[in-house]
Amino acid sequence: MNNVKELILNRIPKFAIGNLLGTLVDTLVLWLFSHFVFNGYVGEVIVSPIISFEFAVFANFLFSYYMMLLLIQAVTKWKLVIFKKQNK
């Protein structure tokens, strides 16, 4: 039961940070493109949200990729430590 609590307490902040990051990137890019790049209805209402969504998805992908990379490195290091202890 303790492992479940640790997993939940470890994953929820990362999930929340990833979602918050995507929301912030989406909002910022949407604001920048709708105010400074596009002036017409099609640019502000159709094109800007599409571009901002793509930026948000890419930001979430990068965040998730680096979180998984850190997790894989931690697990690999842990396995190496256990393997060295067993061989002694």
First to last CA, the chain: 32
Residue in this structure with the two tokens 């979180």, named with its chain if needed: 67
- Look at residues 61, 65, 52, 64 and name the one whose alpha carbon lies nearest to residue 25: 52
Residue 84 has pLDDT above 70, yes or no: no
- Using CA atoms, how far apart are residues 28 and 69, in angstroms rounded to an integer? 27
Using one digit for the tens of pLDDT, what is the confidence trace for 1-48?
567 777 778 778 878 888 899 999 999 999 999 999 999 999 999 999
- Using CA atoms, how far apart are residues 54 and 33, in angstroms rounded to an integer? 13
3-state secondary structure of 33: helix
Residue 79: pLDDT band with limits 50, 70, 90: low
Residue type, 14: K
For the whole prediction, is pTM greater than 0.85? no
Using one digit for the tens of pLDDT, what is the confidence trace for 46-78?
999 999 999 999 999 999 888 888 878 777 776
